[in-house]
Amino acid sequence: MSENRRKFLKTLSIGTAATLSTPTQIWAKSTKPLQATLADLKNDDASEAYWETVRSQFQFAEGLVYFNNGSLGACPKPIREATMNFRNTLDDFPSKYMWGGWKDEIEAVRKKTADLFSVSEEEIALIHNTTEGMNLIASSMDLEPGDEIISADHEHTSALNPWKYWQEAKGVKLVTPTLPIVPKSVDEVVANYRKAITPKTKVISICHVVNTNGMILPIKEVTAMAHEKGILVAVDGAQGAGMFNIDLKDLACDFYTVSAHKWLFSPKGVGIFYAKQESQQQLKPLVVARGYEDTSIRRFENYNTRNLPEVLGFGAALDYRNAIGSQKIHERTYDLKHYFRDAIKDNHKLILKTPEADTLSAGIQVLEVIGKDVQEVKNRLFDEFGIDSRPMSKFGLNAVRLSFAIFITKKQIDTLVRALEMIANS
Ligand SMILES: Cc1ncc(COP(=O)(O)O)c(C=O)c1O
């Protein structure tokens, strides 16, 4: 700083001018507590002690045991801190970072996201949530009255309503196959989609993991069948991404949209939108702002002023995830699922209503306590044991939905099982 400027600032009694850090310095400073955490996670250990360490890095209200990640994901402490630091940086010098100051950092988040799904960064937009991604797809399609969209009965309203609003209202027909609740095989599910296809089908809209009972839908098989007939496939990946390994090149769907604030443990309000390079020309931006002429995938995230600290916080959440390792997370999810299912398998009052095969379910399981109403079970789990779950009564499930995210330990599953047994026997 020049001597003149120093003197000038002194006369204004505002001390010396703030040192303006570079984005790289900001990233290093904001994620400092995270770096220490990452060092503890990067090893081959997959013991229960390791996962207890992971659990200790998540913070919940006192006494809360959180089996409800499917509703909203938790965010580890160092990610919360990093996000807060990014927010403070933004507010310390409000105009510097919003329109380009963090360009390289945002591009780095895009690249990490692309790597997570084995696709190109030119196929990833950083949006706000799955609902937005589904609206983007549904509002874009130039469909004619009489064309058909397949959307099965288990779809979430965020994936269904955009099609109703943008397409059904103009005469496009929504075809709704009924899916089996507890199928025994992938073929059983694929058959329902096959039967629903007609020469007028233009799009299959399908979720990766249904929010009702945690069933995984066979995206790869349905996509292969659809593409043979020139049908586009749009996937609601809200409950899939982060729960288990996903290779979007291999699944081959056209569009895949995610809420990073569920199984990727991001700060809230960050979503991912994947559009296969060759399918991008089908799309139109949902919001039109300065720079809309951009022909790259970035045109779908162009909201002008937006939640950049959260997007950078999501980048930090990806660093957290990468320190543990995707494969380790994948295996842990299935380990927790098997541990839980084994623990209740001989109890005839606790009935699982999620398919058993690993190809058909992972980190979400639903369970009925025979003779009890699900709302009572949900309330008692919470009031008597501090366990949060989600009641599901759709499709006659009468079952609590339990999410097995990586911050859940086997000790907590033991507590959950004891609680369910006590409720069943009372
Ligand atoms: C399958 C599915 N799709 C979409 C959504 C909507 O997610 P968001 O509100 O983050 O857009 C949810 C939320 O629970 C969901 O479970």
Rg (C-alpha) for the chain, rounded Å, is 23
Give distance in angstroms: CA of 136 to centre of ligand 1: 15
User: What CATH fold (topology level) applies to the domain 103-322?
Assistant: Aspartate Aminotransferase; domain 2 (3.40.640)
Is the distance from the beta carbon of residue 212 to the nearest atom of ligand 1 less than 6 Å?
A: no
Measured by CA distance, the residue closest to atom 7 of ligand 1 is 130
Domain range annotation of the chain: 103-322, 326-425
Is the distance from the beta carbon of residue 211 to the nearest atom of ligand 1 less than 6 Å?
A: yes
Is the distance from the beta carbon of residue 259 to the nearest atom of ligand 1 less than 6 Å?
A: yes
Tens digits of pLDDT across the chain (426 residues) = 556 666 655 544 444 444 567 778 888 888 888 888 898 899 999 999 999 999 999 999 999 999 999 999 999 999 999 999 999 999 998 888 998 889 999 999 999 999 999 999 999 999 999 999 999 999 999 999 999 999 999 999 999 999 999 999 999 999 999 999 999 999 999 999 999 999 999 999 999 999 999 999 999 999 999 999 999 999 999 999 999 999 999 999 999 999 999 999 999 999 999 999 999 999 999 999 988 899 999 999 999 999 999 999 999 999 999 999 999 999 999 999 999 999 999 999 999 999 999 999 999 999 999 999 999 999 999 999 999 999 999 999 999 999 999 999 999 999 999 999 999 999
Class of domain 326-425: alpha beta
Contact 241, 220 (CB under 8 A): no
Give the 3-state DSSP-derived string for 179-201, with helices as H, strands as E and coil as C: CCCCCCCHHHHHHHHHHHCCCCE
Is the distance from the beta carbon of residue 232 to the nearest atom of ligand 1 less than 6 Å?
A: no
* Cα separations in angstroms, 68 against 167, 230, 262: 33, 38, 10
Write the DSSP assignment of 141-163 as a string of letters.
----TT-EEEE-TT--HHHHHHH
Predicted TM-score (pTM) of the model is: 0.94
For a ligand 1 pocket test, name from 213, 239, 310 the mutation site with the most ligand atoms within 8 angstroms of its C-beta: 239
Q: Which atom of ligand 1 is nearest to the CA of 271?
A: 10
